[in-house]
Structure formats: C-alpha cells, structure tokens
Structure 1
Amino acid sequence: MESAQKHKLAGWGNYPVAESYTVNPRNEEDARGDLNKGRVIARGLGRSYGDQAVNEDQFVAVCTKLNHFLKWNEQEGILECEAGVSLEEIILTFGPKGWLPMICPGTKFVTIGGAIANDIHGKAHHIDGSFVNCVLSFTILLADGTIAEASRTENADLFWANFGGLGLLGVILTARLKLRRVETTYFKQKSIKIKNLDHMLEALEQYDHDYNYSVAWIDALAKGPKLGGGVLTLGNAAKLSELPENLKSNPLKLHATSRLTVPFFLPSFVLNGLTVRMLNKVIAFVQNSPKEFVHYEKFFFPLDAINNWNRGYGKRGFIQYQFVIPEDNGKKNLTEILEMIAASGCTPFLNVFKRMGEGQGILSFPFKGYTLAIDFPVTKNLLSFTPKLDAKVLSAGGRLYLGKDALLHESTFKAMYPQYEQWMAIKRKYDPGNRFTSNISRRLGLEIA
C-alpha cells in the first residue's frame, strides 16, 4: 500500500481544480487500507466533467489499476470484471468475438465503476435505457470495511442508490455485466438536415420508432426561423448481410489508437463567436454524412479521435451543461432555453440533442423527455448566466445531469431531485460517518449533517 501524494485534480472540463491526496489501489486489500486514511472518493479515468471525482484536501482513490477480467460466460454474454476496467478494454477484448457493451456514452474512456456512479446513457436511451439495465450485480467496499454484493434482489436499496450516486456510498470493486451480441462493428445510419426546432421534434417523432440510435447536433447560435436547426443522425446496428463487399472482409473491425492530440491548452481567445460559427458550419457538414455504413468509433465516439481535446477550451476550462425536460410543453420551453443561450453572450459549442426514454433509479438523471448537452467555456458571464438557466430548467420541470454538473446550487439541486431524501436515508444506513465524500457532495449537501 503506497503513501498518498497531493496533486491538483480536475474533471474533464478542467474546472474546478482541487488539491487532493491520491492513492492507486491495486486490489481489495489496498482499497480497504486507503479507506482507513480518511475521507475518500473513487475515481476512474477522469471523464466526469466537474467536481465529482475530486476531494479538496481529502483522498481520491484512482482505481484504474483494478482492471482485470474475472469471468466470461460466452453462452449468455455475461462478463464479470473489476470496476476499473474501461469500455475500451471491453471492446478491444470482446469486439473480435462479436460482443460490444450494451450502453455506450460519448466516450469509450470510462470505467465500469464510473459508468455505474453516473448511470451513463447513450444514443439509444429511448430503447435501451441507462447503464443500470446491463448491470446484473456488483460488489462494493462499504464504510465499515465490509464488502457487500448488491443486485436487484440482494441489498436492492444499495444497488439502486449507486446508479447516479456519484460514488458516495462506497468503492465499487467488481461488476457482472451483460454484453450485446453483434454481427458487425458497423452501423447503418441516416442523416437528416434539420431546418428548425419544429422540424427537429417532428423528425424525432417520425424516426425514433424505426431507429435504435438517434442523436442531433444543434446550432445553439441560430436565431429566429433557424432556431433549433442542425443535423439529426439515426442508426441501427448493421447485420453482416447488409454490409457492402469492401467491409465484409473484416466485419468486426476494431478502432486504431489515435495519433491526433491537442498537445497544450489553447489560448482562451481561440473560441469566440466568429470561430464557433465557423466550426459549427464544419460540424454541420461532417454530421450530414452521405455514408450509409459507419464504424462504431465514428458512430459512438467521434471525439475520441482527438486525444486531450478538452485542452481546446484553454486553461480556464469549460463545463458541459446537460439538462432534461418533459415532453409536455417541450417546444415552448426548448424555444425559450435556446433563445436564452443565443442571447447570453456565452459561447455554446458541441451542442447535442436527444430524446430520452423512461427513467429509473433514485439520483439517476434520465427521464422521458428532451435532453440537450452544451459545452460552455468558463467565463464571468457564464458564472452569472447558469443560475438563470438552472431556474428556467427547473420551472420547466427539468433537472441537470449530476455526472457533468460543476455549478449547480444545493437548493436548486434539491428542488430538481426531491427524491434526494430517499437517497440520503440510504447514505445514513451505509455511510453515517461520511467516509465517502467529494467536492460535489459538499456543494450539493449530499452528506450527513
């Protein structure tokens, strides 16, 4: 067991930055020893955007060395692995066998523990739901040093509270997952150029029943009759018989290691209104692809093609602001929100729009409605604007994704997630002494008083 070193840590948005003592457990014994050092939060590959896996002046257990496969049942497609295993490691190992993760977010560089803590979702939420739907059970190191198994039938309260629970109930050690059988690693896709918000909502209503995967890029700077315009991309897993001959020779092709990288933090002035408008035109062109068949790497993980792309926002960092609102009055509320963003003086970039299916869990983010994720560089304007945006989302009956949040106030969080009291009762049961803490737990009041 190693001694802890103090480091500056941040999430993927490089905001906020906090000095934390880091440890790197390699096994169950290490993890239990690290628990005895003080208050701790588990961390994976650091792809949560905000302060979910930083712990000012406390301990952070970086669990990426807990990344071993334990059992594989090919008959049923069930994998048991340590929680530090990444989606990329699963794809590289099981993709050639004809298996892929059931739920894929926008990056493959996420650990299973992180996927559970944030209850990640992807382009198929309206069909497949969130990550909880592919997890059969997991083991977790609790505050008293014991290890519990949690499933839908055993310690069910602990099971459900961990999905979206931000790692605040313990250190997840292992998990049993259901993978998806595939004939190819390609997707058959359709791209539709969208004129405005009316057209966007009509297209989603028309096509979501026929395509398992759907996601839209929206030009958040557009105004007037073009408000809500962009490109809608739809897709289904491609069958071997559907592939053109030039792809059939290697139907389970894997991704190559990317050589592209952003080597340093770009100057803050690079992203401004003019450059974002230019980049939006490039994104619209790329998204509106005429290709009928596309590899999973481009379909699921387009940004993974550029290493350290988060440095493009400069040292000031950025936030990803993701909300979901109900479909009732959805057009009216989305119009008002998009108008607020366009007039805010902030610089919205990489704006992703989806329709979500039914929600589940306690602090899990998704519910049936519309979700928009926007990247904002951190500025003084942004820090004064987001509370106004929070209030609008709340008034629309919506909430923010805690797995990406960096700025939400405690009172607004509790209004958005009134079920937090149910979660707090489970926290009191399993961690009454607040052994598991983080910056976001203190910011949102997710600690025992």
Structure 2
Amino acid sequence: MTCFIVHYGVWLSLAFVVGLLTALICLEKDTGGLLRRTDFVPTLCILLFVAFTQVTLGKIALYAESAVLVLLAFLAGVGLIVAFLGRISRDHVGWKLGASSIALIWLAANVSVARDVEAELKHRLGSLVERAGGDSFNFEVSGRDVFLPADGTDQAALAERLRRAAGVRIVWRVDALSPQAAELRSRAIAAAAAARAARRAAEADWARRQTADVATAAAERSGAKQKESQPGAKQKSAKDAIAEGRSATPRPAAGTGETPVALPPIVWKPPMDPTLAEASHPDAGETSAALATTGAAKSPAPVCRTALSAIAASEKIRFAVASASLRIGPEPVLDKLAELLKLCPDATLEIGGHTDSQGRDDENRSLSLRRAQAVVDYLGRLGVERARLLGVGYGAERPVAAGDTPKSRAENRRVEFAVK
C-alpha cells in the first residue's frame, strides 16, 4: 500500500476529487432511493476483479491493482458527499462523465507511473541482493512481482528477504530468466567489466608514465655525474647551478660550521604488484640508471608468463548447483587474467570446467563444458583472442574435495586454469 501511496498518490487524489464533483453534479432527490435490487451485480463484478488481481502476474496485476484503488478513491469522494449532503440521482448524466474521467485517470497513471514503480523496485532489490552477497543482475521485476531463478544454494533465504521488502507483492521461483532479462544481464555484466578494465588501464598507463619520468631523471643525473667525474671537465658556474634550482655554495647549518648533507630527491614509487611487467615495479626507479647506462633491459615476457601461471594456478571460479552462469564475484580475477594474456601474446590458456558427482556422466560433461565456455566468452568480450582460449569439460572426473557433503560438492563445482 505504501508503494501505491508514493507513486499513485497524485492520481488517487485526482480520482477522489472527480468523485466529489460527480456527486455534486448528481445531487438531486431520487424517489427510488440510493440502493437498488440490481446493485449486487456491479458489486459482484468489483469483488471478482479484486480476486483477479491476486492471481495475475507482473504488469497485469499492477494495472489491476491500480484500477481497484482509483475506483475506491472515486467512490470515497462520492460517499463523502452522500454522507453530508444527502441522496444523489442515480440516472444523472454526471455518472457517465465521472466514469469516463476515472478511466482516463487510470490510463494516464499507469502510463506515467508503472515504469517508475518497476525501476525503483529493481534498484532497491538490486542493492539488497548485492548486500546479501548475491548476483544483483540475476532476478527480474515485472510490475510488483519478482522472478528469481532457482539455480543458487541460498536462493530460498534470498527469496524470503525479497518477499519482505517494501513494495514487493510476491516472489516467484523460476527455472531461468526471460530472454530479454538474460540479455540485459549479459550487457550489464559486460559494461561493468569494461568500466573496470578501462579504469585499470588508465591506472597502469599513469604508473608507466611515472616510472618513465623517474627513469629519465635518473639517467640524466647519472650522465651528469659521469661528465663531472671525467678529467678536465669544466666546473659549473654559480649562475648555472642557480638556474638548475640549486645553490652554488651549500649553506651551513645554523649554529655550526658544518655543511649539511644534500638530501636525495623524493621519488614516487608505484605499489609492488607481481603481476605487472618488470618495468613497472617500484625497484625500477632504483635500477633505471643502470638500465639507461647499459641501454638494455630484461624482457618482460618471462615475468608476465610467470605471473599468469601464478594466478592461473591459485584461482578457481565457483558455480551454483546445475548452473553455468558466472556470478558477480569472479570478475576481478578474470579481468586480471585478460590483462596478463594481452601482455603475453604467446601464451595459451586452458579453461577446464568441472562438476560435482550428482547427476549422469553425460550431463555433467555437458554442464562442465558450458561452464568453461562461459569463462571463454567473458574473456573474449574483454578482447582476448579466442584462438588462445581452450575450453575443456571434464565432468566429475577430477574432484578436488573428497566426500559427498554439500561443502565438498561446492568445491568441485569449479573452473580451473592452466597456462600452455
């Protein structure tokens, strides 16, 4: 009810005013009385319509509920006039005008408000699902009804939380999302991954520029020192030293006759990240002078391949029961793998899908291959060449957790990586 008051409040108020005006227009003495024997027919129709709202789904239920409330607001206005001013004419033409007016009000209300009701409810429920640790894209809202796929381990508890949320009429457990909702979910996941990849690329580019600046400055200092140490080198004048931002003669410390030791410059160092190339490590600022002097640097290919192998060996992607859909959590791992694969053009990644021991062998092999293909598709959307991605389905042949408990089965529902 609160949802309707917030979104339909203006339209309900307008229907109430129309009821007042209709009753005032029809305010005449009627010899037949206010109620008639045939009044049970429209009353029965209204009751049947209210029952219809309880068995319909999605937008149709929302439209039906709004029609009932608009009619009740109209009748409330009529009843107020009858209570204070007496009987009204049952055969007056004003009733037709009032009925036409509330029909237009109902139509305009649903055109302007129904979509906002769905959008606001989906936004609030998405935040609730994300706080609960679920997939904020893996549900569908139609009207005030929520359709939740039953492919997760904690979906029953999540459905109960959604059912208690304000504005939700009912939560339906379904086998899968509708094709339109599934397409929107894929687009949302791809857009979020692209935004994260763009942000990380910008951060990496900034770090490379900072490292290059530090290396250039170190090389210039090293070259200047070598020139000064050569025999017969001309000493710089005070004017030249001042132009470079240094004092020609170091100023002695106050109260002492000693010359203070010059402090080294403050150099920004990027955080240590073993997955970055060697040129981006913080030690590059300390070794850049030597690299600039020799004119050769170590190739980053072995470094990036080692980092790729380390992540591939340590990370696994988990799946829900009988599901091949990627959850929200693994995206950072897959984004990092995509970045490293782009830095290692000669590396090939095997993506092996696995299942638990439940079900037939042929079904498990098909499900494991679909899980591997889901990861291949995700990495492909991030720009990795699909020819370098090998998806393999092993079924339940290679379990990593023994036993048949829910915990061990959850450990075995996975995708693993291997660098070739």
TM-score, normalization: structure 2? 0.22
Higher relative contact order (CA 8 A, sep 6+): 1
More strand by share: 1
Structure with higher Rg: it is 2
Pick the structure with more helix per residue.
2
Instruction: Give the structure-1-normalised TM-score.
Output: 0.21
